[in-house]
A and B are shown apart, each in its own frame.
Chain A
Amino acid sequence: MVNLRMANESQNRIDAALSGTDARLPDVLPTKGHVIGAAQDPRDVTKHAPKIRIDKASLWYGTKQALFDVDLTIHERSVTALIGPSGCGKSTLLRCINRMNDLIDSVRIEGKLTLDGEDLYHRDVEVEILRRRVGMVFQKSNPFPKSIFENVAYGLRIQGVKNRALLDEIVETSLRRAALWDEAKDRLHESALGLSGGQQQRLCIARALATSPEVLLMDEPASALDPISTAKIEDLIHDLRERYTIVIVTHSMHQAARVSDRTAFFLNGILVEEGKTDQIFTNPQRKETEDYVTGRFG
């Protein structure tokens, strides 16, 4: 009994310390002229051309329905955050966009998803080409047990690129875009598994960028990282939004507020509300959204 209580107390202290760090972050890490942690004024991206249209998308795992008639438009060069409690279908929706759900035998999808007007689930779509255009970064960094260079070059190598100069160039560009070049340039040919967790996640972003995707899907990219690494990733998203269409799933409402232009709130497989990020957080139209973003949920 005594021991259990002590463990609880120390856990509380850790939690407190962590949230404290989060709040103090802006003082510690002011970079690139903007302050991390403060909401960066979300841009109005509705003027941008629509990149991805999701039209009445429903999804079943076997007999269990996970998505219900989701309608969502994602605009070019924008950051869209998908938020909601665990199991609400936001990751499932994300994985519909690059058809990663194809890997699960029991999945059935209805509705229409288009990328630049092309039906993603058309019979003639080559899923490999789709995935080159729609890159993905996973919740847990998953570098291959290869060198840093080979990790970034992987997407090009499987496309058959052999030109060494081109590989060198793209690896450098990708690592620079992922803000990892300075840390990795002297150890390109060492194992990627020797990098820290945050570096590994940025390496995975660089790896995804190397195939020049148009869309970048991020499935809780910072959930396994410490606040400093998280800050770097968010910084990176801020830079990448000028060039890529980004869809990010996150559990952290602060993160959604900091990085995204638009936010979509999911609950039990239903898209409850979608709108400009500051509007979702400051003036939600739906009761459920308000409960969730104010932390009153559950």
Chain B
Amino acid sequence: MVTTASPTLQASSGGRGRPGETWVFVTAGSLLTLIALLVGVILLLTLNGLSVFWPHPIARVTQNDGSVLIGQAWRGEAISQDSSDTDAVRMRTLYRIGNRRELGSEFQWVDDDAVKSIEHPPEIVFIERLEWGPALGTIRGVKRAGVPLADLAPDDFDAFDDLVDEARAERIGALAPRVDEAKLITTLELADGRTVDIPLAAIERIVPANAYGPVDRVLSWCASFGRFISENPRESNTEGGILPAILGTFLMVLLMSLAVVPLGVIGALYLNEYAKQGPLVRFVRLAVSNLAGVPSIVFGMFGLAFFVYTIGAHVDATLFSDKLPTPTFGTGGLLWASLTLALLTVPVVIVSTEEGLRAVPRAQREGSLALGSTRWQTIRTIVLPAAMPGILTGTILAIARGAGEVAPLMLTGVVKLAASPLIDATPPFLHLDAKFMHLGFHIYDVGFQSPNVEASRPIVYATALVLLVFIVILNLAAIVWRNRVRRKLQGSTF
């Protein structure tokens, strides 16, 4: 190839491209990193959150010293080595062996080197109990009032399920009868050969994970997931479902929206439509925007001091004086938490509503005013409908911010375990003064305040996933609504 000295259109700097072009890669790289992080978070939550409900196989592990354990492989890790002369990394595996009452601990580490054999016999079951965590073992018969049921095969799990359903009638409320009082009792053989009597009424579910085919596994997964989102928590939140937390979050967000949207929209209307534009209005606007940057715990303190201790105490003194000194509204509750979050999110609504109001064409307002309508009629019939997309955008942002906020709630009414449901059959049906549970707080509580951290770790992931999906659903609903409003407003603009 012949090169000439004549000027060419190609880069002369050694084929490295133009000097400025590298920045394209840097910007693309940052974006890619962000996307990777986002996908990573979603994948982590989804995989960990959804695998909780999967019926994991139950292993019978025989160790070299002859001891046997039954458990589900939970996680593995490398053992730290003191001497570095062996290259091979030794691993150990944590098994969930259950039977906390009988064995003292629910988990056990097993060195992989010490394992002689691992089997997955189909008759081993995982039993979800009301108390004491799960039990793992082999069912050795069922007694009805002391008499063994002779015609029951050890792998007839359908029959066991029927018996569990039957025994549910023996429960007193949510409590199972004691072993010596129960009519239906099953005998479980543990790994070490001991047998334990468990009242069938104390059993939530029997999962013979090893006997399941693929379809059974999926069905079992669905059943577990369904119960997770439809049941009350048990065992200080480490087991059972999260229904009260879902309901609490939903009601709190609903009440917050009901409070924040009118407040924000009316505020924005005054700022944009009535107030004489000048330094004062500019200052107010700046203050409102800055309010959005105040740490949320500060709002929590304000909510506690203002709503709970001031307004709540006055409400109690005037309306509920017969119950004092037990506070009704003078303590944290659903209403005060919702109002605190409404204050926290009102700047977002004001800012977006103002954007929406500014986007309403001047011609539309003038058209209405020129027909003899008053300012308020114009706002009500022309401006507000046209600003609806902006208002809804504000609502979406407020919901997104409010649904995930935890810190202010801890000061204004969220609890680990709600004593009474928020909605029930006794008037006034919706209990605004009640303490409530919240998905975000539930994650914190189960993850970091739990007596059984290892067992509740998957629930943390599952709850986080539910919270995420919950917020996405709320947002999607609001976005669909906004798009419908937008379509209604749009037409052909020639």
B-chain residues with CB within 8 Å of residue A155 when the two chains form the complex: 371-373
B370 touches A208 (CB 8 A): yes
Cross-chain pair count, CB within 8 angstroms: 79
Binds A, one of B146-154, B378-386, B471-479: B378-386
Q: Does B429 contact A (CB under 8 A)?
A: no
Binds B, one of A37-45, A190-198, A253-261, A276-284: A190-198
Q: Does A251 contact B (CB under 8 A)?
A: no
B-chain residues with CB within 8 Å of residue A200 when the two chains form the complex: 494
Q: How large is the interface on B (under 10, 10 to 19, 20 to 34, 35 or more residues)?
A: 20 to 34
Q: Does B12 contact A (CB under 8 A)?
A: no
Nearest Cβ on chain A to B385's Cβ, whole angstroms: 7
Q: Does B27 contact A (CB under 8 A)?
A: no
A191 touches B372 (CB 8 A): no
Distance in angstroms between the alpha carbons of A154 and B373 in the assembled complex: 9
**What residue in chain A is nearest B386 (Cβ atoms)?**
A145
B-chain residues with CB within 8 Å of residue A192 when the two chains form the complex: 491
What string of 1s and 0s marks CB contacts (under 8 Å) between A101-145 and chain B?
001010000000000000000000000111110011010101111
What string of 1s and 0s marks CB contacts (under 8 Å) between A87-110 and chain B?
000000000001010010100000
Q: Does A207 contact B (CB under 8 A)?
A: yes
Q: Does A175 contact B (CB under 8 A)?
A: no
Distance in angstroms between the alpha carbons of A138 and B373 in the assembled complex: 16
Nearest Cβ on chain A to B162's Cβ, whole angstroms: 61
B494 contacts which of A103, A131, A158, A196 (Cβ < 8 Å)? A196
Q: Does B318 contact A (CB under 8 A)?
A: no
The 23 listed contacts between A and B (C-beta, < 8 Å) are A100-B366, A103-B365, A103-B366, A103-B369, A105-B277, A128-B373, A132-B372, A135-B370, A140-B363, A142-B367, A144-B364, A144-B367, A144-B368, A144-B382, A145-B386, A145-B488, A155-B371, A157-B381, A158-B372, A193-B490, A193-B492, A194-B491, A211-B372
Distance in angstroms between the alpha carbons of A171 and B296 in the assembled complex: 55
Q: Does B489 contact A (CB under 8 A)?
A: yes
B-chain residues with CB within 8 Å of residue A252 when the two chains form the complex: none
A-chain residues with CB within 8 Å of residue B363 when the two chains form the complex: 138, 140, 142
Q: Known pairs A100-B370, A136-B370, A194-B491; list 9 more (Cβ under 8 Å).
A: A103-B365, A103-B369, A130-B372, A131-B371, A142-B361, A142-B367, A145-B386, A145-B490, A204-B367
Nearest Cβ on chain B to A126's Cβ, whole angstroms: 9
A208 touches B489 (CB 8 A): no
B-chain residues with CB within 8 Å of residue A285 when the two chains form the complex: none
B-chain residues with CB within 8 Å of residue A194 when the two chains form the complex: 491-492
A-chain residues with CB within 8 Å of residue B364 when the two chains form the complex: 142, 144
Nearest Cβ on chain A to B356's Cβ, whole angstroms: 14
Q: Does B236 contact A (CB under 8 A)?
A: no
**What residue in chain A is nearest B374 (Cβ atoms)?**
A128
A193 touches B368 (CB 8 A): no
A207 contacts which of B371, B386, B488, B489 (Cβ < 8 Å)? B371
Q: Does B493 contact A (CB under 8 A)?
A: yes
